Amino acid sequence: MERKFFLNTDRIGFSKWAQDDIELARLLWGNPEVTKYICASGVFSDDDIIRRLNTEIQNESVYQVQYWPVFELTTKALIGCCGLRIHKTEEYEIGVHLRPEYWGRGYAKESANAVIEYAFCVLNAKKLFAGHNPDNSKSRKLLKKLTREGIAILLSSHIIGEVRHTADRVGILSGGFIKEEFSVERS
């Protein structure tokens, strides 16, 4: 069966997780290089992967968002996932998890930009947040690229948006640039 995409860029297609995607979920979240910074232990057990897949499916059912699986259009190979989590009404957190063989090829930036546009144009988001583990320099670099390109390029006239660098810094965006950045005390 041909996989259906609800969102495309030039190189990638976004689909939706389903119960029969367990092997794809294992391919992604079963890789310790992927999970190194996204869970406390750094690795997902098989039960964790099943729970994560079910959470994504449930989020889509209830909130119409998830960390959608992302595929290379030419090969139909799973690149990873990129999507949204509901934070509050009209506020979302954006996230990206890619398989290591796709790192450094522009897929994270390309998929995040597509999700940002989807959030503001389709979902009418008022704010987007993005967090990262402070030890994950690649995520920090991606967030800085996105902010300089206008993660908060607003299609809404009065809300700018916000990026949260979890654990150590918070950056408030204005006009697509970090307007204010400050350290956060950990408790």
Least confident window among 10-19, 32-41, 57-66, 79-88 = 32-41
- Tell me which residue of 57, 41, 151 sits closest to 95, measured CA to CA: 151
Q: Specify the 3-state DSSP secondary structure of 106.
A: coil
Residue 1: the pLDDT is 62
Q: Specify the 3-state DSSP secondary structure of 176.
A: coil
Average pLDDT score over residue span 35-47 = 87
- Tell me which residue of 75, 87, 68, 62 sits closest to 25, measured CA to CA: 68
Instruction: Give whole-number Cα distances, 46 to 18, 100, 150, in Å.
Output: 17, 19, 37
Residues 187, 185: Cα–Cα separation, whole Å? 6
Neighbours of 174 (CB within 10 A): 12
Q: What is the pLDDT of residues 116-166, one digit of tens each?
A: 889 888 998 877 777 666 676 777 677 666 654 434 322 222 222 333 323
Instruction: Give whole-number Cα distances, 155 to 88, 89, 178, in Å.
Output: 19, 17, 18
Taking a C-beta distance cutoff of 8 angstroms, is the pair 69, 14 a contact?
yes
Residue 118's H or E segment, with its range, is helix 107-121
Taking a C-beta distance cutoff of 8 angstroms, is the pair 63, 72 a contact?
no
The tokens describing 50, both together, are 């099943």
Provide the whole-model pTM.
0.77
